[in-house]
Amino acid sequence: MTSIRVLITGMGLITPLSKGVDRNWDALIKGKTGIGALTFFPTADDLFFPVGEVTEPFSPEGPPRTHQLALMAAKEALENTVGPVDAIVMGSTTGGMSRTEALLKEKETDPSRYACHGTGSVAEYLALELNCKGPVITVSTACSSGATAIALALLLLRTGKYEKILAGGAESLCRLTYFGFHSLQLIDPQGSHPLDRDRKGLTVSEGAAMLLLEGNSGPMDPEAIEVLGAGLTCDAFHPASPDPEGSGALSAMARALKDGGLNPGDIDYVNLHGTGTIDNDLAEAKAFNRLFPEEKPLVSSVKGAFGHSLSAAGAIEAVVSAKCVKEGTAPASVGCRIPDPQLNMNPLKKSTRAPIRTVLSNAFGFGGSNASLVIGRSRNEKVPAFIPPAQLEVAGIACITGAGNTSQTLKAFLGGQTCQGLLSDQEISQALSPRAVRRLKRLSRMGVSLAGAAMKDAHEENEPGSIFFGTGWGALSETHDFLEELYKTDERFSSPTDFMGSVHNATAGRIAIKVKAKGPNITTTGGDYSFEQALMSAQLLATDDDKPVLVMGADEFHPVLSKLFNGSVAQTDTPSDGGGALMVRSAGTGSGPRIKFLFYENPHENPHVVSSLVSCLGGAERIKLDFGTVLAGLPAESSIMGQKQLNSFIQITGFNGPVIDYRRYVGEFASASAVAAVLAVALLKSGKISCELTQKEMFDLKGKGILLLGLGKFITAVAVHQKEVVR
């Protein structure tokens, strides 16, 4: 396989400082700040504190604010490219929350008004606007989301399957984050001044940054700027506080350097996460000083200028890092008047000209999710070819449905009985101690229970090193309860516990804490295709070491929010939820079932998408040789479209094995495909499909695999096979 380098060929930026990369850079280098008064929504006088608010006009008839910010940045990034990108990888945490909050406050009950609520809807909106036919992935790892999205795009390009990818992050101001960080007492009432002796907290902000990344296997232009490496880790320490020793941050930075084939001495400037909170700055400083014990590079934080734009911050600072290299200048730490001597750093007081060839940029988030990127001038040194695992070997499985736990669900499903419905919170967490579920609401209970059950089923000596978690809607209970209390108190009081639990990656973070998983911790949230995105991420990041990983998907039903947000739930009479988990490792010589993500395309204005699917799977004859059964996901909201796609697939391939609509059995919830993956492994192990499922005679798989098809708004394919699946 050819070694592929990843170039930054386009950038787009909109922040409270300005619109456009060059104008933002000019303001930043001049030491300006975009922190000022909040005008987006009203607050009580005693709860009024500075924010970073974008002052560009927004269309009131258009999509929510985050979506508009993302498109502004994307259009600038793509100004000089021809044709659509091959994929979009987006970091976001709140999606259309700013509009949802207003609708809920008005007690709006029309589900169509909430169509752009989902965190994944931002990337989907870009895909439609920009005519992207390939994978559309949304990463939600709190404040590291934008940087993590760039790291995943880097890996995707290294596979050689894609030529150019749009990656970045976007976030708008909203009540959830504004009042949420205030409830945690992490807001500086005077505005953030990171690294300062008298710092008191962060400043909530908004903005968007998008980067056009292109793979190149030929000679490198020494003036080109590339993403040289990335490192992803998890603190596995606390839902909202960093490891006080900065161990996770240090590990992320070290991994990024190793990934880029670099040493600490190669770094000329470090763009710190530098939020301005006492604990975060101190933990990051400890990590910095351990990585650079003697000769230290230039260092600063730009959040005194931009504020903390949460999921967009890592992407914004990736753009800043690229400009530092291009212009040979490092920006000042705006607002840092007297550097904190405890940090043992010398943050820049003013912008400084210097020969900057390589920058290390950090982004850390709730749940201990850490991401570090290395951005710099292209190097002509040969780098190892990137060869992701061919497939993953399944060591253990677990699921939760309305029928019960794994054994209860399998008994019902294999007998052709429904698994729809809802377990009580107590039933979901019956295998957990009261201490383990203290303060945990429905989704987190579900996730922790699934993780424990999959690990138990695996009989593994080693605990998982990484967590990959897909969820379409995140923690609806915490989100609802946070806003409910806020509105009941006339927007004066809110729950810090509910705020910490409301972020989409809270569940994965809690699992990591419980099992001490300190590798990559990634939450994906792409609606009905969230689990597939998690599996895709796991396939890119799984390593050949002894540590297995958990790949999971789960969603909760909420009596108020589910029918407003999820069109498929609104069309069913039986509320359902649940999830699935697989303990997997990079496939070696083991005899366990294999699972492999194979295909992901957007069918919008893509008339040949089913033919593309068939071709990717090896053609009609190969499909019939490889697969005995298809488990098809037909979300109710797009069932007509999905059925047409399925009919087309059967017509093109002539497939005549059993085709099972798994949502008919497990119910309508976004991550139902995670349960389907567990069911597929169980069917593969049994080797037979019962007559109750085929609605004909019993079907013998005869060693063939099972194909999981996701249909509707996107088309995905996952293979579950007893032997190696080569594509």
User: Any idea where the domains of the chain sit in the sequence?
Assistant: 5-377, 392-721
The predicted model gives 311-322 an average pLDDT of 98
Q: Residue 661 and residue 451: Cα distance in Å, rounded?
A: 26
- Whether residue 724 is predicted with pLDDT greater than 70 in this model: the reply is no
Query: CB under 8 Å to 462, separation ≥6 — which residues?
Result: 546, 547, 548
- Predicted confidence at residue 386, as pLDDT, reads 67
Q: Work out the widest C-alpha separation in the chain, in whole angstroms.
A: 78
pLDDT one-digit tens code per residue, 226-268:
999 999 999 999 988 899 999 999 999 999 999 999 999 999 9
CA distances from 362 to 264, 277, 413, 565 (A): 14, 15, 46, 33
Q: Are 448 and 514 in contact (CB under 8 A)?
A: yes
pLDDT one-digit tens code per residue, 165-183:
999 999 999 999 999 999 9
- Predicted confidence at residue 1, as pLDDT, reads 41
- Whether residue 319 is predicted with pLDDT greater than 60 in this model: the reply is yes
Query: CB under 8 Å to 707, separation ≥6 — which residues?
Result: 617, 623, 626, 627, 629, 630, 631, 717, 718, 719, 720
- Predicted confidence at residue 2, as pLDDT, reads 57
CB atoms under 10 Å from CB of 106, counted, come to 9
CB atoms under 10 Å from CB of 436, counted, come to 15
- Whether residue 93 is predicted with pLDDT greater than 50 in this model: the reply is yes
Ranking 200-214, 470-484, 543-557 by mean pLDDT, the lowest is: 543-557
- Whether residue 79 is predicted with pLDDT greater than 80 in this model: the reply is yes
Amino acid occupying residue 156: L
The predicted model gives 429-450 an average pLDDT of 92
Q: Residue 487 and residue 450: Cα distance in Å, rounded?
A: 34
**HSE-CB of 312 using CA atoms within 13 angstroms:** 33
Q: Residue 21 and residue 414: Cα distance in Å, rounded?
A: 56
Confidence of residue 547 (pLDDT cuts 50, 70, 90): confident
Q: Are 403 and 409 in contact (CB under 8 A)?
A: yes
For the record, the structure tokens of 613 come out as 């699917």
Ranking 301-305, 487-491, 694-698 by mean pLDDT, the lowest is: 694-698
Confidence of residue 385 (pLDDT cuts 50, 70, 90): low
| Domain 5-377 identical in fold to domain 392-721 | yes
Q: Are 487 and 543 in contact (CB under 8 A)?
A: no
Q: Which residue has the higher pLDDT, 308 or 367?
A: 308
Element (H, E) at 11: strand 5-14
Q: Are 230 and 373 in contact (CB under 8 A)?
A: yes
DSSP reduced 3-state for 330: strand
The predicted model gives 315-338 an average pLDDT of 97
Q: What is the DSSP letter of 300?
A: E
The predicted model gives 62-70 an average pLDDT of 97
- Whether residue 439 is predicted with pLDDT greater than 90 in this model: the reply is no
The predicted model gives 199-217 an average pLDDT of 96
The proportion of the chain whose per-residue pLDDT surpasses 90, expressed as a percent, equals 89
Q: Are 353 and 305 in contact (CB under 8 A)?
A: no
Q: Are 94 and 502 in contact (CB under 8 A)?
A: no
Q: Are 631 and 679 in contact (CB under 8 A)?
A: yes
CB atoms under 10 Å from CB of 349, counted, come to 15
- Whether residue 380 is predicted with pLDDT greater than 80 in this model: the reply is no
- Whether residue 389 is predicted with pLDDT greater than 70 in this model: the reply is no
DSSP reduced 3-state for 534: helix
Q: Are 78 and 212 in contact (CB under 8 A)?
A: yes
Residue with tokens 């606007």: 129
For the record, the structure tokens of 685 come out as 């192990």
Confidence of residue 276 (pLDDT cuts 50, 70, 90): very high
Best CATH choice for the domain 5-377 from the list 3.40.47.10, 3.40.50.300, 3.30.70.870, 3.40.50.11720 = 3.40.47.10
Query: CB under 8 Å to 643, separation ≥6 — which residues?
Result: 634, 711
pLDDT one-digit tens code per residue, 118-150:
999 999 999 999 999 999 999 999 999 999 999
699-720: b (≥16 Cβ within 10 Å) or e: bebeebbbbbbbbbbbbbbbbb
**CATH no. of 392-721:** 3.40.47.10
CA distances from 219 to 82, 223, 276, 387 (A): 22, 12, 42, 21
The proportion of the chain whose per-residue pLDDT surpasses 70, expressed as a percent, equals 97
- Predicted confidence at residue 436, as pLDDT, reads 82
The predicted model gives 677-696 an average pLDDT of 94
pLDDT one-digit tens code per residue, 328-338:
999 999 999 99
